Amino acid sequence: MTELTLGKALGAGLRRALRDDDKVVLLGEDIGRLGGVFRITDGLLDEFGPTRVIDTPLAESGIVGTAVGLAFRGYRPGVEIQFDGFVYPAFDQIVSQVAKLHYRTQGRVKMPITIRIPWAGGIGAAEHHSESPEAYFVHTAGLRVIAVSSPEDAYRSLRQAIACDDPVIFFEPKRLYHHKGEVDLGAPLADAPPMGLARVVREGSDATVLTYGAMVTTALQAAEAAEDEDISLEVIDLRSLSPVDYGTVAASVRKTGRVVVAHEASREAGVAAEVIASVTELCFEYLESAPVRVTGHDVPYPPAKLEKYHLPDLDRILDAVDRVLDRPHSVSGADA
């Protein structure tokens, strides 16, 4: 085991993928000599050269569109979008081309493209640098959507995404790039849990908190705090947003009977809405109370000085826990 930051683990995952399969190529702005604005691709140009690690013009649709052509040619492109808010110029190529070509051709054309997106807020960034666009991609058939939350998961899931014959939108929480954890760099991919599986991060019995990305850390903090009040929270990192692992989710909900879903993305038609709808369909008779969402507000991502009022924190999660447990509380709920 090696202790690595999440960012370094991602770099190690890319290096391993490049070594394992010479059809893997990386494309993106600044990924070469600079090593990416977050240095995730640091050193890869030197090791693999400019035909494997391709610095591109500053054109997101161009990056994804040429990746489509490379996939036609049998390559497995790994694309880096510089920031979440910059993926929109590539949106057409992702949803109209990357997502649909396998279906349109009855499986004759594969699109094994991994699109890495440094993602979400909490780092005091400038406008367009802190967004959570995952619902757009979850809503698009043909894509898989992954959000990682730990160095080990980042290393393993990224390799799985690149090895996957389907296109994968791969969200990397910027807020956690410097978080450290143990990574088993030698572990065979075949032994790892599949990319689509959720992970029970903390076991508990009173309520289930479903979340992903950087919010996993916040949810764990909330669970620590709740323990002081003898509330036992089960925290599940969904890891995969398409597909969601409802086997793991439903097993937990059947145990606890109470559900909180937390994410940074805004609420309307978001991932939490979908997860709660599915949980309700799958285990309605086990629910002791109405599930509660804790999300970003339905506002454009606010300026950095205001983002703390937008992002769910442990107090908002605990408030939601109070509501699903029908406990008296100070902020919102039954008496509101």
Partner 1 sequence: MSPQITPIADTAQDLELSERILAPDGTRLSNPRLDGYVADVDASVLRSLLRDMVILRRIDAEGVALQRQGQLGLWAPCQGQEATQIGTARALAPQDYIFPSYRETGVIYARGAQPADYVRMWRGEEGAAYDPAALRVAPLQIIIGAQTLHAVGYAIGIKHDGADEVAVTYFGDGATSQGDVNEAMIFASSYQAPVVFVCQNNHWAISEPVAVQSQFPIAGRAPGFGIPSLRVDGNDVLACMAAMRWALEHARAGRGPAYIEAVTYRMGPHTTADDPTRYRTEAELEAWRSRDPIARLEAHLRAAGELTDEQAAEHRQAADALAAQMRAACLGMVTRPPLAVFDGVYAEPHTGLQRQRDEYAAYLATFEGEA
> Annotated catalytic sites, by residue?
129
Q: 143 vs 317, which CB is nearer to partner 1?
A: 143
Among 4, 10, 18, 25, binds partner 1 (CB under 8 A): 25
The answer to whether 134 contacts partner 1 (rule: CB under 8 A) is no
76 binds partner 1 per the rule CB under 8 A? no
Q: How far is the CB of 52 from partner 1 (least distance, A)?
A: 9
Three-state helix/strand/coil letters over the chain: CEEEEHHHHHHHHHHHHHHHCCCEEEEECCCCCCCCCCCCCCCHHHHHCCCCEEECCCCHHHHHHHHHHHHHCCCEEEEECCCHHHCHHHHHHHHHHHCCHHHHCCCCCCCCCEEEEEECCCCCCCCCCCCCCHHHHHCCCCCEEEECCCHHHHHHHHHHHHHCCCCEEEEEEHHHCCCEEEECCCCCHHHCCCCCCCEEEECCCCEEEEECCCHHHHHHHHHHHHHCCCCCEEEEECCEEECCCHHHHHHHHHHHCCEEEEEEEECCCCHHHHHHHHHHHHHHHHCCCCCEEEEECCCCCCCHHHHHHHCCCHHHHHHHHHHHCCCCCCCCCCCC
Of 89, 193, 302, 333, the one binding partner 1 by CB under 8 A:
89
- Number of residues interacting with partner 1: please give it, by CB under 8 A: 51
Instruction: Please report whether residue 15 would count as binding partner 1 according to CB under 8 A.
Output: no
Token pair of 147 as six digits: 């959000």
Q: Which is nearer to partner 1, 110 or 327 (CB)?
A: 110
Nearer CB in complex with partner 1: 123/251 = 251
Residue 142 is a binding residue for partner 1 (CB under 8 A)? yes
CB 69, min distance to partner 1, A: 2
- Name residues whose C-beta falls within 8 Å of residue 251's C-beta, 6 or more positions apart in sequence: none
101 contacts partner 1 (rule: CB under 8 A)? yes
51 binds partner 1 (CB under 8 A): yes
**Binding pattern to partner 1, positions 240-279, x when CB under 8 A?**
--xxxxxx--------------------------------
Which one, 144 or 316, has the nearer CB to partner 1?
Answer: 144
Q: By C-beta, is 50 or 300 nearer to partner 1?
A: 50
Which stretch in 9-17, 37-45, 52-60, 118-126 sits in contact with partner 1 by CB under 8 A? 52-60
Q: How far is the CB of 140 from partner 1 (least distance, A)?
A: 11
Nearer to partner 1, 113 or 209 (CB): 113
Does 68 bind partner 1 (CB under 8 A)? Our answer is: yes
Regarding 71 and contact with partner 1 (CB under 8 A), the answer is yes
Q: Which listed range, 87-95, 115-123, 172-180, 183-191, lies at the site for partner 1 (CB under 8 A)?
A: 87-95
| Sheet of 199-202, strand order | 199-202, 233-237, 207-211, 259-266, 292-296
Which residues neighbour 181 within 8 Å (Cβ) at sequence distance 6 or greater?
3, 4, 6, 9, 150, 151, 152
Please report whether residue 307 would count as binding partner 1 according to CB under 8 A: no
**Contacts to partner 1 by CB under 8 A:** 25, 51, 54, 56-57, 59, 61-62, 64-75, 77, 89, 92-93, 96-97, 100-110, 112, 141-142, 144, 164-166, 196, 242-247
